[in-house]
Amino acid sequence: MKDQEKTKDQLISELEDLRQEKHDRNQAEESLRKSEEKYRILFETMEQGVVYQNASGEITSANPAAERILGLTLDQMQGRTSIDPRWRAVHEDGTTFPGEEHPSMIALKTGGVVNDVIMGVFNPETEVYRWILINA
């Protein structure tokens, strides 16, 4: 139906519907903004290190705790994968921990969850190994 053929009441009703839709959208956007802010603050202030990797295994993001634990800045980590030998990763017995066997790479390959894996990674800032518990 063309606007010219609609009654005044129909047009008013449509306008009220549009206002309600806009109000609902604004509320949803505000809720999303608050939720994102809450999780951003958690990500930035938590003591546990969090590292995000894309489907190829490349690091895309890391929180400040991960930077401290690993002794690398986000810029230094971005683009690296678990296969990168610079991690100098080792098992608890000191043997080399091959990148293909890292929990994140297994999780990406299988689509499954890998929990409670202990790994030593060399921290170039302190020049010592840091022992980390990984869940992927």
Q: Which pLDDT tens digit goes with each residue over 56-115?
A: 999 999 999 999 999 999 999 999 999 999 999 999 999 999 999 999 999 999 999 999
87-103 tens-digit pLDDT: 999 999 999 999 999 99
Domain holding 33, by residue range, is 3-44
Output the domain CATH number for residue 78.
3.30.450
Sign of CA dihedral 13, 18, 22, 25: positive
Same structural domain for residues 35 and 64?
Answer: no
Give the count of domains, the chain.
2
Same structural domain for residues 57 and 20?
Answer: no
Same structural domain for residues 109 and 54?
Answer: yes
Same structural domain for residues 34 and 8?
Answer: yes
Same structural domain for residues 121 and 80?
Answer: yes
Could you tell me the pTM of the whole model? 0.76
12 backbone φψ class: left, alpha, beta (φ>0; ψ -120 to 50): alpha
